[in-house]
A and B are shown apart, each in its own frame.
Chain A
Amino acid sequence: MEKKLWWKLLCVPILIYVIVVGLSTPLSPGITSMSQYTAVTGQTFTARVTTYNTFHTKAKEVKARLRKDTSLTIAAQNVKVLDDNNIEVTFSIPAFMPSSKEQERFSLDVDNDFDGYGTLPGKFIIKQNNIDSLKGAQVWQNTNFGDLSERGTNFPFRGLLFETIRNTFFHVPLWFGMLFLFIGATWNSFMYLRTQDQDRDRRAEVMTMVGLVFGLLGIVTGMIWAKSTWGTYWTWNEIKLNMTAIALLIYFAYFVLRNAFDDLEKRARIAAVYNMFAFVAALILINVIPRMTDSLHPGSGGNPAFGSEDMDNTLRMVFYPAIIGWTLLGFWIATIYYRTLNIEEKYLEQE
């Protein structure tokens, strides 16, 4: 397997695709802030809206609306373009809402024909002083906004994340790569115990080594990501960071254990046993406990990774190849390391 070329050649275009498409695809237009987030029924107000990655001056028409799910909509009376990233919207809220609650959360959509549409989900609150849902149903008229403009293939805009959403193609697949390498190492350890073949032990060693490097890279990319979104490189309250750090410690101990033995057969056997035990422990650390605890990571409290609302199809088009690409690269590095060790051993035998 390690001498065959096709999967190594496959990994190169995949990773080039991941890097080029992953870094060059623009983000969808998004809304970063509004000058006011609350309004009262019956009020007419003008708010300044700051958008991201938009070219309002190039668009023929800029439209804006407030929307609660799809049931309640109200279009802006007037939209004034200040510059590419700033507009002023004027809304006139009807005197009554068809709702029996004191306040309702609305999303703001801004649409123009040049960029497509952007959304600020659920941030805008309309309070009502006089609650009368029946009257509201008469007064409130959903304005027909027409179809939203096409956005083209863009990555989704997420508040807080901005452009760092591209780290999805590095941080997450590196963890996947690490997991696959550890699975490979565990398989080889298992095969060593069955066959007593030193070659299997060497494979397990190199895969664990590269898996460890991938895990460290996963932590480093995660720290950079955390700095720009959470504002700190490391937080001790975050269960996933601590658990993965401990999981990597377990695998560091694997190499300490290897160095404790001089006898090759004994080293291989005990390292194989420990490697399989470590895999079970690491699975508990990475996959069981983080699911049970709240986390700052997306899909926290039950779901270890991105939920369906965090990923969309344009991200997936790069994300899945990224997993395959990084995993193949990991195994490629492992085979090179493996062959280096083999050559080293032959060289030592000749001396």
Chain B
Amino acid sequence: MNTFQEIWFLFRKELTLEFRQKYAISGILLYVFSTIFVVYTSTFDAGPKQWNILFWIIVLFASVNTAAKSFVQESGTRQLYYYSLVNPVAIIISKMLYNTLLLLALNFLAYGVFSLVLGSPVRDLQLFFIAIFLASLGFSITFTFISAISSKADNSASLMAILGFPIVIPIVMELVKVSQNALPGTFDSAINEDIMILLAIDLMLGGAALMLFPFLWRD
């Protein structure tokens, strides 16, 4: 079995597990709905800028909670079994792919609920969706790898936040900048450059994660 097949099988395994348990997705959905509900009931008068920031903060925390489960969901012995069967790189890639897909669905859903409840000031929908896509990719890469690190420690939840947030800040900053441009009020003609930077950051972190993961899994 080559690596691509391994990735495909592992990816399907993640999906099957998710559909069987419906644990992660329903928990995260509850989280998104309740935060948006809190924002709504506080009768917060959001301008486009505040709307944007709020949206990304909610998405950021939802992503952390989603990705934090990547390596703690299954027992250590079962993971050892996977590692003895397949290439570790295939494991991390499949988890990243799965998380990207999950975050993508989650973020689009969050956007839908958000614009249903608070209204959507988005002017350039295409650009905003590009931002959501790059956000899902970047958050998934970073948080999957960080959760692989923090799952080795005892109190992995707090380590996840300590290690993950500083690293993800550049991605969030670029995201806010790009998506701001999709809202009325700001126009930056050099936005394609920012999209390229965002993509480059995602790829650099992804490359580093793939190179380092094989050293991480052994216990």
Q: Mark A181-205, 1 if CB is under 8 A from B, else 0.
A: 0000000000001000000000000
Once the chains bind, are B208 and A266 in contact (CB under 8 Å)? no
> Is A288 close to B, CB under 8 A?
yes
Q: Mark A266-291, 1 if CB is under 8 A from B, else 0.
A: 10011011101110110011001100
Contact A270 B212 (CB under 8 A): no
Whether A246 and B204, one on each chain, are in contact in the complex, defined by CB atoms closer than 8 angstroms, is no
Binds A, one of B76-84, B129-137, B152-160: B152-160
Do the beta carbons of A253 and B193 come within 8 Å of each other?
no
Is A292 close to B, CB under 8 A? Answer: yes
* Known contacts A260-B154, A260-B155: A277-B208 contact under CB 8 Å: yes
Chain B residue nearest to A239 (CB atoms) is B173
Complexed CA–CA distance, A256 and B150 (Å): 11
Q: Mark B107-139, 1 if CB is under 8 A from A, else 0.
A: 000000000000000000000000000000000
Contact status B170-A277, CB under 8 Å: no
Total count of chain B residues near the partner, CB < 8 A: 29
CB-CB under 8 A from A261, the residues of chain B are: 152-153
B38: Cβ under 8 A from any A Cβ: no
Q: Does B18 contact A (CB under 8 A)?
A: no
**B29 adjacent to chain A (CB < 8 Å):** no
Segment touching A, from B4-12, B54-62, B89-97, B161-169:
B161-169
A-B contact count (CB 8 A): 76
Q: Which of A233-263 contact B (CB under 8 A)?
A: 243, 246-247, 249-250, 253, 256-257, 260-261
B219 part of interface (Cβ distance < 8 Å): yes
Is B197 within 8 A of A288, CB to CB? Answer: yes
- Contact status A289-B167, CB under 8 Å: no
Cα–Cα distance between A246 and B197 once the two chains are bound (Å) = 18
* Of A243, A249, A253, A289, most B-chain CB atoms within 10 Å: A253
| A285–B162 alpha-carbon span in the complex (Å) | 17
Provide the A289-303 mask, 1 if CB < 8 A to any CB of B, else 0: 100100000000000
Q: Is B17 an interface residue (CB 8 A)?
A: no
- Identify the closest chain B residue to A194 (Cβ): B215
CB of B143 within 8 Å of the partner chain: no
Q: How far is the CA of A273 from the CA of B174 in the complex (A)?
A: 26
Chain B residue at smallest Cβ distance from A285: B170
A289 to B155, CA, bound (A): 32
What residues of A have a CB within 8 angstroms of the CB of B68 in the complex? none
On whether A257 and B205 interact (CB within 8 A), knowing A272-B215, A277-B212, A292-B194, the answer reads no
State the CA gap A284–B167 with chains docked (Å).
10
B219–A266 touching, CB < 8 Å: yes
6 sample A-B contacts, Cβ–Cβ < 8 Å, listed by A number: A260-B159, A266-B219, A272-B215, A281-B205, A284-B170, A285-B170
What 5 new A-B contacts, CB under 8 Å, besides A276-B208, A289-B197?
A: A193-B215, A249-B166, A261-B152, A261-B153, A284-B205
